[in-house]
Amino acid sequence: MDNVVKKCIDGRRMAFSSVYELTDLYKKKVDELFKKIEEFGKSCNDVMDFETKFASSPLNKEYTDLFTEVSQNCKYILPPSIDNHDIKTNKEQIKDEVLSEAKYLAREMSMPARRAAREKFDSKMRETPLGKIEQASNTAWVIKRLFGKNKND
């Protein structure tokens, strides 16, 4: 198996054990799942091949489903730097993570519309008297730069 693929698989496995205190039942489920994932990884040429195939594989859904099940049934391991007043329950943490991801996706998905609105605004602004003055000023600056008559040089 490709070494980088192995590291990707090990990282996914650590996501379970470093975040949750797994019960014996869930340790067994995680081990069984990762035996299948490792076999799958052996069939891949490199990390890009693995990640592409894994994303559309039923193993990815099984991994996600198991992670969700573990998060609901196993104790969350607190990092040593967190004080007791900062402790969040699994549900609160999941809610925060989902909210954060939703905000990110909303921002990314709205980017084309925001860009188009900005371009439309800029286009209309160029048609105003202030926009015409700005265009003339920019043109004058470019001409000065071309002929070396800019005071800032």
The pLDDT score that the predictor gives to residue 109 is: 73
For the chain, which ranges sit under pLDDT 50?
Answer: 84-85, 153
The pLDDT score that the predictor gives to residue 21 is: 86
The pLDDT score that the predictor gives to residue 88 is: 60
Mean model confidence pLDDT for the chain: 81
CA angle 56–61–62, rounded 5-degree value: 130
Give how far Cα 146 sits from Cα of 46, 98, 120, 133, 137, Å. Answer: 51, 53, 30, 20, 14
For the stretch 50-88, pLDDT in tens is 888 988 899 989 998 898 888 888 887 766 555 544 556
Both tokens of residue 98? 């989902």
The pLDDT score that the predictor gives to residue 27 is: 93
- Sequence spans of domains, the chain: 3-79+86-146
Q: What is the pTM of this model?
A: 0.51
The pLDDT score that the predictor gives to residue 37 is: 93
